[in-house]
Amino acid sequence: MDHSKIRQLVSAYYDGQLSEEDSAFVERHLKECASCKRYLHTLGNISNYLKIWEDEDLSPDFEQNINQTLFGNGKNKGGDMKRKFSLSTIATCCICIIFIIGIITIQRYINYRKIAMPVVGVTQSQGLLSYNKNQYNSEPKQLDVAVSIVKKTEEMITRAQPELMAKRQNLAKLSVPAASVRRLAMAELKDKEVAQSLHPRLLEARASITPVGGGMPMLIEEREIAAPIDKRYNPNFNTEEYDRIYENEFLTVKENPLSTFSIDVDTASYSNIRRFLNNNRMPPKDAVRIEEMINYFSYDYPNPKGDKPFSITVKAAKCPWNKKHDLLLIGLHGKRLDPEHLPPSNLVFLIDVSGSMDMPNKLPLLKTAFRMLVNQLSDNERVAIVVYAGAAGKVLDSTPGSDKQKILDAIDNLRAGGSTAGGAGIKLAYEIAQENFIKDGNNRVILATDGDFNVGASSDAELIRLIEENRNKGIFLTVLGFGTGNYKDAKMEKLADKGNGNYYYIDTLKEAKKVLVHELGSTLFTIAKDVKIQIEFNPAKVKAYRLIGYENRILAKEDFNDDTKDAGELGAGHTVTALYELVPADSEESFRQVDDLIYQKQEIKQSDDLLTVKLRYKLPDGKESKLIKKSIKASEVTEAPKGDFLFASSVAEFGLLLRDSKFKGNATYDDVLKNAKASKGKDRYGYRQEFIELVEKAQMLDFSSSDGKIQFK
């Protein structure tokens, strides 16, 4: 019997290429011939082995693995199977193997060429690490493994961050090649076996570098690598927009006895700062809004009593970063709503599906976040979905929350592409919200975008007029920000401010859960609007004061009693905190002053009061404001803040350091960490522990800070 011809038929039979008659012949032969039956089994092993080559790295013992697959464990090299293999069959297999290796090598070379970057080098002054194309091409296996480990073990990196970051910064200063850094990444992480269990697609990720002060590289998804080289992949290209912040100055009580501002419940700045630090970069100074950092956290203020929508807490203590000054805390705590008595909701999801959203940290994260929100909806809530790209369109009519699957299916079907007709999308969303308007209900548009509007009505002035008009009709706006690179923070904050809503930045699934699950009531349900605070300081006790943060929420003193002036909103269960740094009246410090008035003289009334806090607010459907007053005595100033007061002050001190503020006094990262750890409290969801870890990371990245520098021994 000619086994070479029979085995050609067996190969064709394995591939399903024989007729029924020939297949029947082969099957009869296989029952009688053990040798050909083993040959068929070997073909299956070879096929399975070849399938995994495209996702595995070729190992040094490649040839040995092939021999083991073809001939077993190698103990019977002279056995029957090897003898019966024809030379033509073995030659055919070898040719196939060489061909596949060639294809894989060429493909990998092309992939690495796509992500190759110009040589920037390692500069000791900035502590930057930059990879070049030679390093990419020379060590593909090491790079694959290192990147895979880093991507899969993000939490492990965070725990090991202090020592790991210090070593990497030392390497950067010593101009050690990037290859050594990659080997360090593998050596430092204990669970090296993680790489073996990763999904094959993770091995396609490649590392790109941004100026991170010697930190770990940022990761770019494979589909981004495969895309044509454009501005998104240039680490020096950035069109993110932040309004310039001019910090509040110290004002003397003699010339400025009143301080007036609108509350702010936004938290976007904190999560945006976290995004920068987690990418091992210091945030831009103008991305740091200290009031949003403080208000990211909840505080244990007393619950409101009676029919008042919120309680007021006023405390004062010595300022942690300037012991010659005092620190004043004003805290509000909104009333929690009974879930069974929540007003009906008319929600419109306005989702940006333009081309700029086609990135892993944008539309995919957005869709997951909205799924979380949909799963929290009750039968008393309705949802419509509007999308916009090159044009705006409705993809889901107003649907009751009980029909969750219909809403989820509409979200799952969203795809990104096209330009960004944001203005048209907002206009359509408000029209649909008006069509389904619920009197005495919660009517709200929830905008999710990176803020990059470039088609149609997209100027700030046009959008703000549109939003203000609908705000006055009872339709509020919540803004959820996503993404990096072209993120428009300044525009999105303005839109939420003018829409009687709040503004969040979603950088992780954990943040999505915080905003849309844990704090859903405060996110969606407003219990008080146009909330303004005015403080009158007693010049006999206070020489000067400075409001920390709230720079874009300052109001004229006349605006406090003007009910036509818009101000901030307070959500159900929300806490709002404001801090003032106070200079005692007996201080020898001097501040900018004006000449004494010729026609007026100021008379100081003797009082033990340090100051009086006045607060105005309207109910969600109200037109006239209500007034609340509360005073604090100078004798109530304590030696040191404790508990929530201490934690809020540590967040503010951290913000001063991130801004490199001229008012930071003696602030240090070490003091921030000490105070934050001492006041962490119960920390149910781990937000305060995460803050502590971010401070530690910033301390290592901030080379402008004396306590952030790496010490060499």
Per-residue pLDDT reduced to its tens digit, 167-220 = 555 544 444 444 444 444 444 443 333 433 333 333 333 333 233 333 333 332
Is the pLDDT at 86 greater than 70? The verdict is no
Two structure tokens written together for 253: 């009580």
Give me the pLDDT at residue 1, please: 55
Give me the pLDDT at residue 523, please: 83
Q: Which CATH number fits domain 251-337+527-592+603-708: 2.60.40.1230, 1.10.10.10, 2.60.40.790, 3.40.640.10?
A: 2.60.40.1230
Give me the pLDDT at residue 592, please: 84
Helices then strands, counting H and E runs in the chain, come out as 25, 18
How far apart are alpha carbons 532 and 568 in whole angstroms? 7
Is the pLDDT at 118 greater than 80? The verdict is no
Contact status, residue 357 vs residue 482, Cβ threshold 8 Å: yes
Is the pLDDT at 548 greater than 80? The verdict is yes
Of 207 and 352, the one with more pLDDT? 352
Give me the pLDDT at residue 485, please: 78
Give me the pLDDT at residue 107, please: 57
Across 140-149, 445-454, 490-499, the highest mean pLDDT is recorded for: 490-499
| Residue in the structure block whose two tokens are 């203590």 | 317
Residue 76 DSSP label: T
- Interstrand relation of 568-571 and 526-537 (parallel, antiparallel or unpaired): antiparallel
The distance of Cα 626 from the centroid of its chain, to the nearest Å, equals 37
Residue 686 DSSP label: S
pTM for the whole thing?
0.67
Q: Say which range, 95-104, 261-270, 342-351, 427-436, has the weakest mean pLDDT.
A: 95-104
- Interstrand relation of 322-334 and 392-400 (parallel, antiparallel or unpaired): unpaired
Two structure tokens written together for 199: 């999904």
Of 258 and 592, the one with more pLDDT? 258
Other residues' Cβ atoms within 10 Å of the Cβ of residue 128: 19
Distances (CA, A) of 267 to 376, 473, 517, 527, 601: 21, 26, 15, 18, 43
Is the pLDDT at 392 greater than 80? The verdict is no
Residue 681 DSSP label: -
Other residues' Cβ atoms within 10 Å of the Cβ of residue 606: 6
Give me the pLDDT at residue 567, please: 92
Contact status, residue 290 vs residue 655, Cβ threshold 8 Å: yes
Condensed to tens digits (0 to 9), the pLDDT of residues 571-598 reads 998 999 999 999 999 999 998 888 888 8
| Residue in the structure block whose two tokens are 């032969």 | 29
Is the pLDDT at 418 greater than 70? The verdict is no
Give me the pLDDT at residue 108, please: 52
Give me the pLDDT at residue 487, please: 84
Give me the pLDDT at residue 447, please: 93
Average the pLDDT over 491-509 and give the result: 90
Is the four-CA dihedral 707, 672, 284, 325 of positive or negative sign? Answer: negative
Q: Say which range, 56-70, 478-492, 680-694, has the weakest mean pLDDT.
A: 56-70
Give me the pLDDT at residue 614, please: 97
Residue whose C-alpha is closest to residue 524's, from 496, 507, 501, 506? 501
Question: Which amino acid is located at 207 in the chain?
Answer: A
Of 187 and 566, the one with more pLDDT? 566
Give me the pLDDT at residue 402, please: 92
Residue ranges per structural domain of the chain: 3-112, 117-233, 251-337+527-592+603-708, 341-524
Is the pLDDT at 493 greater than 70? The verdict is yes
Give me the pLDDT at residue 544, please: 97
What percent of the chain stands above pLDDT 70?
68
Is the pLDDT at 405 greater than 50? The verdict is yes
Give me the pLDDT at residue 177, please: 45
Is the pLDDT at 81 greater than 90? The verdict is no
Across 157-166, 360-369, 644-653, the highest mean pLDDT is recorded for: 644-653
What percent of the chain stands above pLDDT 90?
45
How far apart are alpha carbons 43 and 11 in whole angstroms? 8
Condensed to tens digits (0 to 9), the pLDDT of residues 304-337 reads 988 889 999 999 999 999 999 999 999 999 998 8
Compute the mean pLDDT over every residue in the chain, rounded to the nearest whole number. 77
Give me the pLDDT at residue 374, please: 93
Is the pLDDT at 46 greater than 70? The verdict is no
Contact status, residue 316 vs residue 326, Cβ threshold 8 Å: yes
Give me the pLDDT at residue 425, please: 84
How far apart are alpha carbons 316 and 637 in whole angstroms? 5
Contact status, residue 515 vs residue 480, Cβ threshold 8 Å: yes
Average the pLDDT over 244-249 and give the result: 95
DSSP character string of 487-537: -BHHHHHHHHHHTT--EEE--SHHHHHIIIIITHHHHH-EEEEEEEEEEEE
Give me the pLDDT at residue 23, please: 78
Condensed to tens digits (0 to 9), the pLDDT of residues 119-147 reads 333 233 232 223 333 333 344 444 455 44
Average the pLDDT over 275-297 and give the result: 95
Q: Per CATH, the architecture of 341-524 is what? A: 3-Layer(aba) Sandwich (3.40)
Residues contacting 185, CB < 8 A, separation 6+: 146, 149, 150, 216
How far apart are alpha carbons 418 and 430 in whole angstroms? 22
Across 155-164, 366-375, 516-525, the highest mean pLDDT is recorded for: 366-375
How far apart are alpha carbons 662 and 690 in whole angstroms? 27
Q: Across the beta sheet with 345-352, what order do the strands follow?
A: 392-400, 381-388, 345-352, 442-449, 475-481, 503-505
Give me the pLDDT at residue 323, please: 94
CA atoms within 13 A on the CB side of 310: 34
Contact status, residue 441 vs residue 524, Cβ threshold 8 Å: no
Average the pLDDT over 631-648 and give the result: 94
How far apart are alpha carbons 548 and 581 in whole angstroms? 7
Residues contacting 497, CB < 8 A, separation 6+: 266, 503, 552, 568
Assign 3-class secondary structure to 419-446. CCCHHHHHHHHHHHHHHCCCCCCEEEEE
